[in-house]
Structure 1
Amino acid sequence: MSESEYDIEVAGFGDEAERELPPAPVVAVVGRPNVGKSTLVNRIIGRREAVVEDVPGVTRDRVAYDATWNGRRFTVVDTGGWLPDAQGLAAAIAEQARLAVDLADVVMFVVDATVGATDVDEAVVEILRRSGKPVVLVANKVDDVGAESDAALLWSLGIGEPHPVSAVHGRGSGDLLDAVLEALPAEAPPETFTDLGGPRRVALLGRPNVGKSSLLNKLAGETRAVVDAVAGTTRDPIDEEIQLGGKTWRFIDTAGIRRRHRENQGADFYAILRTQSALERAEVAVVLVDAEEPLAEQDLRIISMVVDAGRALVIAYNKWDLLDEERRHYLEREIDRQLHNARWAPRVNVSAKTGRHMEKLVPAIETALEGWNTRVPTAKLNQFFADLVNAHPHPIRGGKQPKILFATQAGVRPPRFVLFTSGFLEEGYRRFIERRLREEFGFEGTPIDITMKIREKRGRRK
């Protein structure tokens, strides 16, 4: 294969790779029990995932699904039946539905048209009015033309036009989704993360009660976020523009991420959803870790979320001033042993309470962003790989030795490399390549994505 043929295969990588999709808007599906919300969700997403059963209250845990209509992405959140005056488990489900409304961009309010508006429906309408969110009224179970008169009676609820649908048969679902798209906020352009003079976006992540809000307040020089000894005080991300080091930064303080088995309980599910959204909107994440405690599974999972999202990363060890020499020694060993997938991340030791070493945070963030935006010229990159392959060729497997024929950097933010090879490169060799790339070009504070395009064998041309 000639170099010109490589150019044909490489074409188009750069422009597409640097475009980041913005977070999808959220559509919450609410209504009293057994009006067909989960059936409607299955109809919208085009597959049977939401549990459907003719028993009120089947949906208890909150579930979010990706959906698309007419090329527009959005996230559908299926909620449990909403009973405003409920008690016990029903009250917990109702509270989660309220939270869904708070966090949604649009609310789909589902009513059983065959039953008509009930006292519960009217109570829900009052709550929806107070929320100020756009509401699309869904008159479900309108299975034929004769039932459309039932749907028309729902005008009495006073929240706009009822949209007659049959979630079971799909009747009217297209018109309903058109109405949902009209109610959604204007679609944001794909994120390019180019520096247009606006503040750089920093997400503050960490376990509950690790000190994120205290750190935000110390950076701001005033109390802007609620600080409480009770874990999970922060539910919604709080965007704050703060002047540091002569620049304006936008910090996003997010709710703490709890253990997996707590994720789907109440507000914690939505904390996860909003934390992921905050990470999508951020360019760099500062993960705060309690230096007094051993690194926990939650800490490692949060760091993995940042790496998987392709964002720049800084790890800040809080309460460093409270450590004795023995704990510092063991912490260094924990870091070396457990943070093998993020040893490249800048580390700063701070005290959110006293402000100690806070001046080191901004240089670490700037270092991570610089690595995140680093591009290596193609000629220099291929010279690097030529030298690397000559000095350290891939091991021979099954009598064959795959080679790197050509390489290109497909994008930045984070740096993405495509290797055109004569065969499959083993994972260990790819890790070796990443390590050498970092040694040669830096990339401090950023994950690196390496993919292969394996040359297909071709028959001889006649």
Structure 2
Amino acid sequence: MTKNNIDEVLLIGLPNSGKSSLVNALSRKKVSIIGSTPNTTRDKVSTTIKRNDKVFNISDLPGYLEDPDELNEKFQNKLKAYLNDAKLIMFVIDVHTTNYSGLDKIHSLLQKNINKEQKVITVFNKCENFKKFELNTELYKYIYDSDYYVSSIHKLGTEELMEALTKRISSNTDSIKNTYKSIAIIGKPNSGKSTLFNKLLNEERAIVSNISGTTRDKLEETIQFDSDSYNIIDTAGVPRKKQKNQIDRYASSLAVGQLENSVIAFLVVDAKQGINFEDMRLISECIENKVTPILIMNKWDLLKEEEKLFINKNIASLLKKYSWLKILRISALNGKGVKNLNTVIYELQKQLSTRITTHELNILFREIWTKKPPHPFRGRRAKLKYVTQYDVYPPSFSFILSGRVPINYQNFIDNRLRDTYNFDNICLNIKFKN
């Protein structure tokens, strides 16, 4: 498992300077969570932007605090490394700010840590009712190679800024594949999602803490499993439905929303706690979205032998309906079992990309329909007109019928597809049409 590297544009600034809304405006999608509460963003949030023939990562950092709490201090300790990795740095300043001591600290940090090859551009934000000549003279000293005046909320000046960015970027679309499949890491808070994310990347990318709900934002990186590249996404923990904090509730909804854009989901469970209702709900969400879940029992090394036996029996009982689901038992902290994901992803990739000809499918299922037809549904037995596969990721099949078939026969068809074509561990998309 290796991380793909392309040019990175890094945003730094004080809390509530509008960095998150600027990333959303430039990327034209909701990447960062926006809130009026300072430091809504808790980690480095990245997304890939493709514009014309250029491609780069744009990364939003939490606002720089003069007196950071435990989580922000963990993040700020990694700032120097983030600055060193960036191709281009955007110093984002609220044009109306008077917090010069905070700006001075960022200014000093940049001067000490940027090299001659790096460029810093200053972006004055919230300029919807502002003219350049009105700029407070106290802010002139924070202008580096060039300065831009934007309103990220109203998307004023953002296209001009984007043009300036693409001119300074060297990585082009030829250096990467056009599209990547996505893998979402989901699970309850403190199950070890971010620890697994870091282990897969071989770096401390996500902040890890015992504080429940540390991760709020969607953290995204591109990594390679063997010869295939994937966007891997660390999401906020999905707690019980009664979530009081509005930002955490929104973060949870974004986490579940990631399933719509993913082909595989790593469902991380704290093995000490076992599987409960919330985990089963997430499995159902995956299957409803036709996403293949991999159940990852994390912290397995902390269990005693009798606990392992009990958990395994519990898993077998709860997942009887989803007996095809792949289960891995790992320790994300020490890396035990994590390498097995390479083999699993490779096998799932083969299954998810399988195509079967219409001719072959019709020979198989006409014979099945003749030997073991469905029971009549409301007095009428459905006849098979034809069956076809219309998509992959996951393999998707359409059965055109002259009537309706009972649920038990739909399950029978699902099982025959799995047995015949070795769809051992993936979610299938099967539609029955009258």
Equivalent residues of 1:315, 1:348 under 8 A apart: yes
Distance across 1 between alignment mates of 2:273 and 2:6: 36
Equivalent residues of 2:122, 2:144 under 8 A apart: yes
Q: Which residue of 2 aligns with 1:376?
A: 356
Equivalent residues of 2:65, 2:102 under 8 A apart: yes
Match status 1:174 vs 2:155:
no
Offset, 1:113: 3.3
Equivalent residues of 1:321, 1:351 under 8 A apart: no
Equivalent residues of 2:395, 2:428 under 8 A apart: yes
Offset, 1:164: 1.5
Q: TM-score, normalised by structure 1?
A: 0.56
Structure 2 vs 1, CA of residues 52 and 123 (structure 1 numbering), >3 Å: closer, same or farther? same
Equivalent residues of 2:12, 2:61 under 8 A apart: yes
* Unmatched segments (≥5 aa) in structure 2: none
Q: Which residue of 131, 138, 146 corresponds with 1:147?
A: 131
Q: Which residue of 177, 182, 190 corresponds with 2:178?
A: 190
Distance across 2 between alignment mates of 1:128 and 1:424: 67
Structure 2 vs 1, CA of residues 265 and 121 (structure 1 numbering), >3 Å: closer, same or farther? same
Q: Which residue of 2 aligns with 1:118?
A: 100
Equivalent residues of 1:26, 1:74 under 8 A apart: yes
Equivalent residues of 1:311, 1:446 under 8 A apart: yes
Note the 1:46-445 alignment, pairs <5 A.
Answer: 57=37, 60=40, 82-86=63-67, 102=82, 108-113=90-95, 118-127=100-109, 130=113, 136-143=121-128, 147-150=131-134, 156-167=141-152, 169-182=154-167, 186-187=172-173, 188-191=176-179, 208=190, 258-260=237-239, 293-296=273-276, 300=280, 310-311=291-292, 313=294, 318-319=300-301, 322-324=304-306, 328=309, 330-340=310-320, 342-347=322-327, 367-390=347-370, 391-393=372-374, 396=377, 405-420=385-400, 430-445=410-425
Distance across 1 between alignment mates of 2:61 and 2:193: 31
Distance across 2 between alignment mates of 1:151 and 1:125: 18
- Look up the SS of the partner of 1:163 in the other structure: strand
Distance across 1 between alignment mates of 2:158 and 2:110: 22
Of 69-78 and 25-34, more deviation after overlay is shown by 69-78
Equivalent residues of 1:204, 1:253 under 8 A apart: yes
Distance across 1 between alignment mates of 2:383 and 2:78: 54
Structure 2 vs 1, CA of residues 413 and 176 (structure 1 numbering), >3 Å: closer, same or farther? same
- Look up the SS of the partner of 2:275 in the other structure: coil
**Which residue identity does 1:160 align to in structure 2?**
D
* Unmatched segments (≥5 aa) in structure 1: 1-21, 194-200, 218-222, 456-462
Offset, 1:417: 2.6
Equivalent residues of 2:374, 2:409 under 8 A apart: no
Match status 1:446 vs 2:406:
no
Distance across 2 between alignment mates of 1:286 and 1:42: 26
Offset, 1:37: 5.0
Q: 1:172-193 deviations in whole A, cap 9, x for unaligned?
A: 2321233345566544323478
Offset, 1:139: 1.7
Offset, 1:344: 0.7
Offset, 1:85: 1.0
Structure 2 vs 1, CA of residues 443 and 39 (structure 1 numbering), >3 Å: closer, same or farther? closer
Distance across 2 between alignment mates of 1:349 and 1:78: 33
Offset, 1:96: 6.5
- Look up the SS of the partner of 1:139 in the other structure: strand
Structure 2 vs 1, CA of residues 123 and 411 (structure 1 numbering), >3 Å: closer, same or farther? same
Q: TM-score, normalised by structure 2?
A: 0.59
Q: 1:140-199 deviations in whole A, cap 9, x for unaligned?
A: 24447x822346976632533111223465432321233345566544323478xxxxxx
Offset, 1:295: 1.8
**Which residue identity does 2:177 align to in structure 1?**
P
- Look up the SS of the partner of 2:394 in the other structure: coil
Q: 1:342-394 deviations in whole A, cap 9, x for unaligned?
A: 42134466899999999998876665454334333322212233344453448
Distance across 2 between alignment mates of 1:254 and 1:46: 15
**Which residue identity does 1:120 align to in structure 2?**
G
Structure 2 vs 1, CA of residues 363 and 66 (structure 1 numbering), >3 Å: closer, same or farther? closer
Q: 1:388-422 deviations in whole A, cap 9, x for unaligned?
A: 4453448546x887765433333444323344556
Distance across 1 between alignment mates of 2:128 and 2:338: 63
Structure 2 vs 1, CA of residues 423 and 177 (structure 1 numbering), >3 Å: closer, same or farther? farther
Distance across 2 between alignment mates of 1:189 and 1:422: 43
Equivalent residues of 1:61, 1:79 under 8 A apart: yes
Offset, 1:254: 9.4
